[in-house]
Amino acid sequence: MHRTKVRVAEDVLDANATIARANRADFDQAGVRVVNLMSAPGAGKTALLERALAGGLSDELGEVRAGVLEGDVQGSLDAQRLAMLHVPVTQLNTAPGFGGECHLDANMVRSALSALPLGEIDLLVIENVGNLVCPAEFRVGEDARAMVCSVTEGEDKPLKYPLMFRTCDLVLINKIDLLPHLDFSLDALLGNLERIHPGVQHMLVSARTGEGVRAFADWLLARARERTSAGDLAPRQAARAAGTPA
């Protein structure tokens, strides 16, 4: 009997990569840096983002204007929380039209581009659907990836979900205010993280107390200030740094 192997997964990821490159080109043209923020459900990524954006992002070059693309299967509770900070927030639900997927992919993000105020922002944070598996596989056109891992999830998560930890540029270890109340070894978690992704940057944070959040905000600010591949600041950021209209 003749058998044919179908490379469904590879084809899907190849198609996604093509669309992700198109998204990245559009973001670059608009002068917008993009961070893909991921975590398991309940790890605290929305609360951390609230804390980081609450005081605004600014340095000696001026203010960085941030926007959020909020990914959820259904509902807009997180988007409503972030909108209270007076930052532009665009909701992207995967239930209507995308089959209730547990992640955002490049095509979903592309479908939302027309609703994103790219001309009004310098930094876009894409808050992905809460999941430690699928979001790691699908690039969406981001410049950098960050993920939130809470201490309540246990020390073994880097070993159980290595791709998520391996593909991130920053790991935020959240809820450290709970450490005195947990049977949890921070050294074990950090050891597992180093085993899976040697040298990856990590930060100890608490969305509840605010500890470490300033460092996360500074990291976001640095991503927004990064130079393009051509070696120049994105045109709008360079104009604003020079004091001329963007």
pLDDT digits (tens, 9 = 90+) for 91-134: 999 987 777 789 999 999 999 999 999 999 999 999 999 999 99
| Whole-angstrom distance, CA of residue 189 vs CA of residue 76 | 32
Which residue in the block uniquely carries the two structure tokens 């410049």?
143
Bridge partners (DSSP) listed for residue 203: 172
Whether the CB-CB separation of 78 and 127 falls below 8 Å is answered with yes
Task: For the chain, give the percent of residues with pLDDT over 70.
Answer: 87
Whole-number pLDDT of residue 243: 47
Q: If we measure between CA atoms, which residue out of 138, 198, 200, 150 comes closest to residue 174?
A: 150
Q: What angle do CA 36, 196, 182 make, to 5 degrees?
A: 85
Residues 10-56: tens digit of each pLDDT: 677 889 999 999 999 999 999 999 999 999 999 999 999 999 999 88
Separation CA 28–CA 210 (nearest Å): 32
Task: Return the pLDDT at 228.
Answer: 39
Residue 150: pLDDT over 90: yes
Domains along the sequence of the chain with CATH: 8-227 (3.40.50.300)
CB 133 within 8 A of CB 12: no
Looking at residue 232, its pLDDT comes to 45
